[in-house]
Amino acid sequence: MKWLFAPVNKWLLGGALLLVMLIAMSLLLWPAKPPLPQKIQGNVQMGFYDLMSQRKEIYDSSMKTVSNTILTTITSPDDSRFVLKGKFTRLGLDDGKIFFSYTPVYSSTLRSGLMIDGLVDLLLHVDVWMEPLQLKDQPIVVGQSGMIFLYPLHR
């Protein structure tokens, strides 16, 4: 069988077309990971309530974004010695939900048996997700546990 050689122009055109198709396929198969907004910071107060034992715990949480990480500091207005620092590292994006893993950085817990220990234990063993939504021009973030944040927080 005798092969026919195509002119160089056709080879270049074919190669360029193949390159464009590969780039288009890579953009469709591997969507870009949108970065978290830079330098966003906010404060949230959260509480834990146990109706059976009539106990409550109130905490102040400060959050700040740095690259693809959310740094958190949790303090107690009732106990100035309580400090819990951690970071949420972004893992990826799936079906509109942003997944994070939690890593504790510092804990000054002097007492055991606090209700917040259950939350920390959950965060250590489960990758948590948050889903950004838009409600009448107001961006909100819904968390896996049902928490809802107005977003952006204080800039």
Whole-angstrom distance, CA of residue 40 vs CA of residue 44: 13
Residues facing residue 89 across a β-bridge: 69, 101
- Write down the pLDDT at residue 122: 83
pLDDT tens digits for range 47-73: 888 888 888 988 998 888 887 788 889
Cis check for the bond before 152: say yes or no (omega within 30 of 0): yes
pTM: 0.65
Position 85 pLDDT exceeds 90: yes
DSSP letter at 113? -
